[in-house]
Amino acid sequence: MATYSLTKEQKAFALDATLPPVLTIEPGDTVTFETGDVAYERLSLGETVEAIGLENFNAVTGPVFVKGAQPGDALKIEILDVQVRRAWSVWLPDFGGLGKFT
């Protein structure tokens, strides 16, 4: 089993079938994902949300292709560790996955 590392520069702002994988692995391989929020970094430098654009928030690292996986398969993923340097959250009415329920 191999071990890989992905950096926060290997990012996407949405995961869908049209994106090519940044990494292809075998079942059982280990991957370390570095994540980042460039939008947060830009906000801390004084840029506005309007200048950054909401479409540039919440980047995800990946996508990763698992050899042998087929559409509709359920993949078991084990999270071995999580390290957080900083964290923040925001709550906005009618925004996000909960939409009108917020």
What residue ranges do the domains of the chain occupy?
Answer: 1-69
Instruction: Band the pLDDT of 41: cuts 50, 70, 90.
Output: confident
The pLDDT assigned to 79 comes to 95
pLDDT tens-digit profile of 57-81?
778 899 999 999 998 999 999 999 9
Dmax (CA) of the chain: 46
> In whole numbers, what is the pLDDT of the chain averaged over residues?
86
Nearest to residue 90, comparing CAs of 64, 60, 67, 57?
57
The yes or no reply on domain 1-69 and CATH 2.60.120.580 is yes
The pLDDT assigned to 69 comes to 96
Does position 35 have pLDDT exceeding 80, yes or no?
A: yes
Instruction: Band the pLDDT of 102: cuts 50, 70, 90.
Output: low
The pLDDT assigned to 49 comes to 85
Span 1-24, mean pLDDT? 89
